[in-house]
Amino acid sequence: MAQLPSWIECHDPRFEQLVLFNAELELLADGFRWVEGPVWFGDHNCLLFSDIPNNRTMRWSPEHGVSVFRAPSDYANGQTRDRQGRLISCHHASRCLTRLEPDGTVTTLAHQAHGKRLNAPNDVVVKSDGSIWFSDPLYGLLNDYEGGRQPSEQPPALYRLDPDTGAVEAMASDFDGPNGLAFSPDERKLYVAESGAPGAAEPRQHIRVFDVAADGRSLCGGDVFHKITPGWADGFRVDEEGNLWCGAADGVHCIAPDGRLLGKVLVPHRVSNLCFGDRHHSRLFLCASKAIYALFTNTRGAQTP
């Protein structure tokens, strides 16, 4: 195999089959404050992402570059698409989860759980049965930079929104700071980032893995799957082989289903989140602090919204 570029670190021979020696890390756009929530819209050939401190959702396309998709965005953070292709967004300021309808109207899907207001929904995924799973840490309530300080009414938790009843139930409440989340390709496992308690001297920071019950409505387990070094896990996606591609302080870490680090893509800025998209779903889009990068890979994202 040809020599890989210096910004690719191989920690396991399996990683050499996932990256390309002649695919460059491309800077697509910069000049933002803190980008998050990337989601690919193949039917519109564009990427949507959140510029949280600037209170806007941005759009990038190869034909037209960068434009504002929605402003204000109510300090949107994590985003995904549901089974009908609609945009699902987490919001800090209004502490809710919304859906953008085809006619441009916005439907609030959840703003409370168990009779109390949510904290600041952070990241979200949609399962094949239509259920919506989202993390709800305290981070978005702590400062005015990403939405405005507000008091919390309940502890952090991981939630499931039932597609038929709209009921919001806590699936796991033993988190200090639940963050990114993703299902394995067969949806038998759910990976969730534990980013730790805000301000803790020695915060718990690792990726946990849960077994999903056969009925898809509950979880068990929750063991430590992997610890990102340096820094902590933020947002991530899973490829067709079940590997996790995770944002980290030094770029992107690729982790095998057995929990071993396969390799890294070193990026000039901290990577908060990422997604697969473009042709064949094999291009990795990276939200890296104030910029958006992209990299063609030799794998494809798991075929989920």
Cα 220 to Cα 280: distance, rounded to the nearest angstrom? 34
State residue 67's pLDDT score: 98
Q: What is the pLDDT of residues 48-85, one digit of tens each?
A: 999 999 999 999 999 999 999 999 999 999 999 999 99
Q: How many domains does the chain have?
A: 1
120 lies in some domain: yes
Q: What pTM value is reported for the model?
A: 0.97
pLDDT at 300 exceeding the cut of 60: yes
In the prediction, which pLDDT does 21 show?
94
Note whether residue 302 is domain-resident. no
- Banded pLDDT at 36 (limits 50, 70, 90): very high
Residue 304 is assigned to a structural domain of this protein: no
Per-residue pLDDT, 246: 98
pLDDT digits (tens, 9 = 90+) for 144-172: 999 999 999 999 999 999 999 999 999 99
What CATH number is given to the structural domain containing 28?
A: 2.120.10.30
Question: Tokens 């991530």 appear where?
Answer: 236
List, for residues 5-30, the tens digit of each pLDDT value.
999 999 999 999 999 999 999 999 99
Structural domain for 273, as ranges: 8-296
Domain annotation covers residue 303 = no
> What's the mean per-residue pLDDT of the chain?
96
Q: Which amino acid is at 117?
A: R
CA distances from 220 to 37, 160, 172, 184, 210 (A): 27, 14, 9, 15, 6
Read off the amino acid at residue 203. Answer: P
Give the number of other CB atoms < 10 A from CB of residue 229. Answer: 12
Assess if residue 305 is contained within a domain.
no
pLDDT band at 3 (very low <50, low <70, confident <90, very high): confident
Residue 1 lies in a domain: no
In the chain the first and final C-alpha atoms are separated, in Å, by: 33
Instruction: For the chain, give the number of residues.
Output: 305
Q: Is pLDDT of 1 > 80?
A: no
Sequence-separated (6 or more) residues with CB below 8 Å from residue 78: 36, 37, 50, 89, 90, 121, 122, 123, 124, 134, 135, 180, 235, 273
At residue 304 the predicted structure's pLDDT band, cuts being 50, 70 and 90, is low
Segment 262-287 shows an average pLDDT of 97
Rounded Cα–Cα distance for residues 35 and 272 (Å): 7
CB burial string 57-72: b at 16+ within 10 A, e below = bbbbeeeeebeebbee
Q: Above 80 in pLDDT, residue 276?
A: yes
